Amino acid sequence: MKDKAAIKKMIEELKTLKTDDMYLNDFFLTWNESDDEIAAVFQVAEILRAMRENNISAKVFDSGLGISIFRDNSTRTRFSFASACNMLGLTVQDLDEGKSQIAHGETVRETANMVSFMADVIGIRDDMYIGKGHTYMKSVADAVQSGYDDGVLEQRPTLVNLQCDIDHPTQAMADMLHVINHFGGVENLKGKKVAMTWAYSPSYGKPLSVPQGIIGLFTRFGMDVVLAHPEGYNVMAEVEEVAKANAAKGGGSYTRVESMAEAFKDADIVYPKSWAPFAVMEERTEIVEHGDDKALHALEQACLANNAKFKEWTCTEELMSLTRDGKGLYMHCLPADITGVSCKEGEVEASVFDRYLVPLYKQASYKPYIIAAMIFLAKFKNPSAKLDQLLKKEAERIR
Amino acid sequence: MKDKAAIKKMIEELKTLKTDDMYLNDFFLTWNESDDEIAAVFQVAEILRAMRENNISAKVFDSGLGISIFRDNSTRTRFSFASACNMLGLTVQDLDEGKSQIAHGETVRETANMVSFMADVIGIRDDMYIGKGHTYMKSVADAVQSGYDDGVLEQRPTLVNLQCDIDHPTQAMADMLHVINHFGGVENLKGKKVAMTWAYSPSYGKPLSVPQGIIGLFTRFGMDVVLAHPEGYNVMAEVEEVAKANAAKGGGSYTRVESMAEAFKDADIVYPKSWAPFAVMEERTEIVEHGDDKALHALEQACLANNAKFKEWTCTEELMSLTRDGKGLYMHCLPADITGVSCKEGEVEASVFDRYLVPLYKQASYKPYIIAAMIFLAKFKNPSAKLDQLLKKEAERIR
Amino acid sequence: MKDKAAIKKMIEELKTLKTDDMYLNDFFLTWNESDDEIAAVFQVAEILRAMRENNISAKVFDSGLGISIFRDNSTRTRFSFASACNMLGLTVQDLDEGKSQIAHGETVRETANMVSFMADVIGIRDDMYIGKGHTYMKSVADAVQSGYDDGVLEQRPTLVNLQCDIDHPTQAMADMLHVINHFGGVENLKGKKVAMTWAYSPSYGKPLSVPQGIIGLFTRFGMDVVLAHPEGYNVMAEVEEVAKANAAKGGGSYTRVESMAEAFKDADIVYPKSWAPFAVMEERTEIVEHGDDKALHALEQACLANNAKFKEWTCTEELMSLTRDGKGLYMHCLPADITGVSCKEGEVEASVFDRYLVPLYKQASYKPYIIAAMIFLAKFKNPSAKLDQLLKKEAERIR
């Protein structure tokens, strides 16, 4: 556990990072943030965690609301957002929108304003429809910006992307912080090999935002990121372009390979996970827009049948033995489809999953702090001064 | 934005108003409140808003619960109540009662006590059944009063009517505060013409509490209030009596006219909105009491068919041009049924609605402060002293 | 109402009780707690209540989460838990698990950790399946313990049993605190007769945890506890063993009798309440495990038919007249099935229920304080010092 002196030192390091543009801004896609901004999120997350471990309150809001808009059930993300808000002093108020609706123009603008009179933060998860989630978040952001400019809202709430169709920044950054800690610092990541691979699941339509988030972020750290999936399970081309550009800039690489075995070979990190093909998800969005239930069912059946051809894409002990010294770090965003446990045939063998249980839980544990850090950096112009103040005040969380 | 000196001045003005009877009392119907009490709600709402704009905390509760009892889905009212409670330091706890149930005697008494052991406020929305909502609220008020008298409850929670079958005080007062600000002060309202009119909506059974709330409150300010609706769409006779008496006392007038055009003629304010005929709502209540689903469906169909005869009752640009200098203030409690946007034919033309978007959102923005003011005035014997104290303390909301 | 001097005295009394083992521990079954620990819960509950009556804040958490896991709808328990958390400064976050699922191994471990990153308390109600609820709670406790030991969780949340298949400690202890206050102190309970009896209800499958909780706890106070039920409506044998052992140790008795009349004879306290036979509940658990809906329906019908044979098991005025001087204290955990009010034929005659309305509500009013006391004792190593500090600080709840 880090002590107060260590926290003080971390705050000093934070001062070297330029975060001005984050102030009063939103967090949508990691690749829209500068290296300093990404580093600042990690740093603030670690500081908030250390403060909590030292029973030092990080309650920077005396009152205020964090609005959650989830278009999908999500225990984990819901609890992470609630935890982050609670830590900072905000109360969560859920806006329950129907799962099956795709909200449009005017309605979005009106609802966004109606729920934001006292809102400091809005967290949105909208990952179900390709081409919609990110667009929806931008509409909400535009709506509250107009509301603020027009004098309707006293403050402009900050938006945090809790998962969209393109990126899953809170997941990818929690994952990355886990990797940083696992390998003993960001300076040790250069040259590490990361295998982001598709894996079979008996379910259909899992979002692409996790693999996209990983290749979009992990390529920034000089690592060799490899993506592997069966034919047709492509991710969005524009995100692959981001990955390539990041790799070029950061001194690493981004490659697509044809098999799990090739991807796992000498990998330091493996992230085998199911997702739906981009083309199918695009078709699905169109079908949902037209409300064609029959076509939706047909698409689902076709997709499941196609999935079933790739049951051998599963993370076995044999595959794990191909990783660096047979000790590659297994990662997953959870919940995983575990063969013989949560399903007959799934993404991972039970013995592999069990062996990595503790690291997997630790990986998940960073998310509340990542979300809190994003909020913190959007709300305080001088975040290190504010953290210094909290540290000096040393108000006890449990009094 | 008002500065601290302006807030100080507003608190001084508040001191001239007699609010003793509001202390530890409930807020049910605006016409049960004195002119001073109504003025005090507006004044406290404005002070709380100004404090928030100055980042001054209004957290007067260190802990405590605000219970919400909603018999209908309501994003807007739910968020307004949650915002008001949060601003004052209360946590909202929702009591989910079934939509279709009409609670009776013993059950009400028991539930009211069971949820109130730590409750400081109870906000109730129960507008679905004519003759029931207000009665239900009175039962809850009686129940917690007995609970307090009998030593079951340590404090008697204050009730706030978030919409009943008779009045919608938080809406009508938020609307009125918008009008006051729009026209630059309550002293400028004398002689202004207000047109509260029915408008066509493809839906059925919208509550009467909005038009009733408006004619019951707006007639107090020396304005000429006109009600217009198709034959048979009468509101409650007792509320019209209130409107007449208020108008007589306040130097304005209350009139019923036969058409939107007549109502809109030279109007300073227009409020075109759908509602169900009182007689139909009465019949509906009886049917629901007997659990007769078939009769309910038949009534609904008949009502919709009758509604369809009055599609020309819609707020067009042409009608708007009849208002004072063609610039009358368009109001709506939202969400509106907008022709060609949210429905094929509705309450208002899209171009009218769009033109008034910002004022409509501002109108809505007053509600959280109105609710907070009602709670504040019920909880502090000397509200101006308490506000003075908050202003002097100047605790930052965002620290 | 107790004043500050009285509160001070109560804190002094608390100092004589040994509560070290409660620190960072869970509260599952009253019979796993020592006499000192049980007494400490009552004492802290009374102190917290007196503080609240004196408007003294008991907010010992500046932030933090109380997780609620309810496998059944429960307005009362939900509000009690929310009240207790709010009073201490915790925010409740609900985990909605499906009603019909019986969670197993891995899933429990994962979910328990995923929701606990910021959790200080977890309150669980899982009473629907005999042999499952308590086991489930132990799994959650083990999961968060491992999480803490493995460095996944920064603190180990405390578990509070809000009702399981074996015991209902927050109910039984609230009931007992009511009895203590009703009879003017724990020292007056020796030799009092308590009749815990079955009573007819038109519903099926009410949990056994209330009668089990009562006989398991009330036998500790030197009282003569009598259990009566129709043939076949046995409670768990192991809990009867607990009751016998407690009675032997505490100088009272535990007896089973054949009729309500025999149980009510000269009783100081009567607690007539419906429950399902243990054997039926065991069969039901097995059926649910196998997902056999048809068998479940058949079991339900058989059980209801059997219930109907015992409609004369109802708390009448005639039976009440058999109690000590005809003035025995009638108790119920609420809601009761009241003949002619909430059902045609039920657990109690309306006139009996009505006569005891105020004591029944008072009985219920202790629950939030009991829960808060359990949390308090688990979170502070030196609870009396912490209470002293709160009393000295005298922070106002309503400021």
pLDDT tens digits, C249-268 = 999 999 999 999 999 999 99
- Give the closest residue to B368 by CA, choosing from C55, C362, A153: A153
pLDDT for res C280: 87
Rounded Cα distance, B167 and B133, in Å? 10
Q: How far is C391 from chain A (nearest CA, A)?
A: 14
8 Å CB contact of A118 and B368: yes
SS3 label, residue B77 = helix
What confidence category does residue C1 fall into, taking pLDDT thresholds of 50, 70 and 90? confident
What confidence category does residue B280 fall into, taking pLDDT thresholds of 50, 70 and 90? confident
Each residue of A92-138: pLDDT tens digit? Answer: 999 976 544 445 556 899 999 999 999 999 999 998 788 889 999 99
8 Å CB contact of A342 and C65: no
Residue A212 has pLDDT above 70, yes or no: yes
For chain B, percent of residues with pLDDT exceeding 90 = 87
- Mean pLDDT value across chain C: 94
Q: Does the domain spanning C4-166+367-393 belong to CATH 2.60.130.10?
A: no
Residues within 8 A of A (CB atoms), B 57-76 only? 57-59, 75-76
Task: Please state, as a whole number, how many other Cβ atoms lie within 10 Å of the Cβ of residue C24.
Answer: 14
- Mean pLDDT value across chain A: 94
Over range A283-293, report the average pLDDT. 88
Distances (CA, A) of B19 to B49, B213, C118, C123: 20, 21, 43, 42
Task: Please state, as a whole number, how many other Cβ atoms lie within 10 Å of the Cβ of residue C327.
Answer: 10
Contact C18/B at CB under 8 A: no
The dihedral formed by the CA atoms of C100, C102, C106 and C110, expressed in degrees to the nearest 10: 50
pLDDT for res C130: 83
What confidence category does residue B205 fall into, taking pLDDT thresholds of 50, 70 and 90? confident
Rounded Cα distance, A41 and A49, in Å? 12
pLDDT for res B102: 45
8 Å CB contact of C83 and B65: yes
Contact B165, B127 (CB under 8 A): yes
Each residue of B41-51: pLDDT tens digit? Answer: 999 999 999 99
Over range B371-375, report the average pLDDT. 98
Contact B341/A at CB under 8 A: yes
Contact A81, C114 (CB under 8 A): no
pLDDT for res A279: 87
Residues within 8 A of A (CB atoms), B 353-382 only? 357-358, 361-362, 364-365, 367-368
Residues of C in contact with B111 (CB under 8 A): 75
CATH number for A170-364 (one of 3.40.250.10, 3.20.20.140, 3.40.50.300, 3.40.50.1370): it is 3.40.50.1370
Over range B198-219, report the average pLDDT. 95
8 Å CB contact of B59 and A63: yes
pLDDT for res B100: 41
What confidence category does residue C99 fall into, taking pLDDT thresholds of 50, 70 and 90? very low
Cα within 13 Å of Cα(C69), Cβ side: 27
Contact B114/C at CB under 8 A: yes
pTM metric for this prediction: 0.96
pLDDT for res C100: 41
Both tokens of C14, joined, read: 């608390």
What confidence category does residue B101 fall into, taking pLDDT thresholds of 50, 70 and 90? very low
Peptide bond into A335 cis (omega under 30): yes
pLDDT for res C281: 87
Task: Please state, as a whole number, how many other Cβ atoms lie within 10 Å of the Cβ of residue A286.
Answer: 14
8 Å CB contact of B334 and A114: yes
Span(s) in chain A for CATH 3.40.50.1370:
4-166+367-393, 170-364
Over range B271-295, report the average pLDDT. 91
pLDDT for res B117: 96
Residues of B in contact with C82 (CB under 8 A): 65, 91, 93, 118
Which among B63, B107, B113 has the least Cβ separation from residue C89?
B63
8 Å CB contact of C118 and A341: no
Rounded Cα distance, B312 and A10, in Å? 68
Which of B85, B145, B152 to probe by mutation at the C interface, max C CB count within 10 Å? B152
Check residues B105 and A391 and name the one with the higher pLDDT. Answer: A391
Span(s) in chain C for CATH 3.40.50.1370:
4-166+367-393, 171-364
Q: How far is A76 from chain C (nearest CA, A)?
A: 6
Which alpha helices (DSSP H) does chain A contain, by range?
A: 4-14, 35-53, 75-88, 105-114, 133-149, 169-182, 209-218, 237-250, 260-264, 278-289, 293-307, 317-320, 350-355, 357-365, 367-379, 383-393
Rounded Cα distance, A215 and A224, in Å? 10
Residue of chain A whose alpha carbon sits nearest to that of B354:
A106
Which among B62, B110, B153 has the least Cβ separation from residue C334?
B110
Distances (CA, A) of A140 to A22, A156, A371, C184: 18, 11, 19, 60
Peptide bond into B335 cis (omega under 30): yes
As to burial, measured by CB atoms within 10 angstroms (0-12 exposed, 13-18 middle, 19+ buried), residue C148 is middle
ipTM of the complex: 0.94
Residue B152 has pLDDT above 70, yes or no: yes
CATH number assigned to the domain covering C171-364: 3.40.50.1370
Token pair 């009591």 in the structure block, residue: B95
What confidence category does residue B107 fall into, taking pLDDT thresholds of 50, 70 and 90? confident
The DSSP output letter for A157 is P
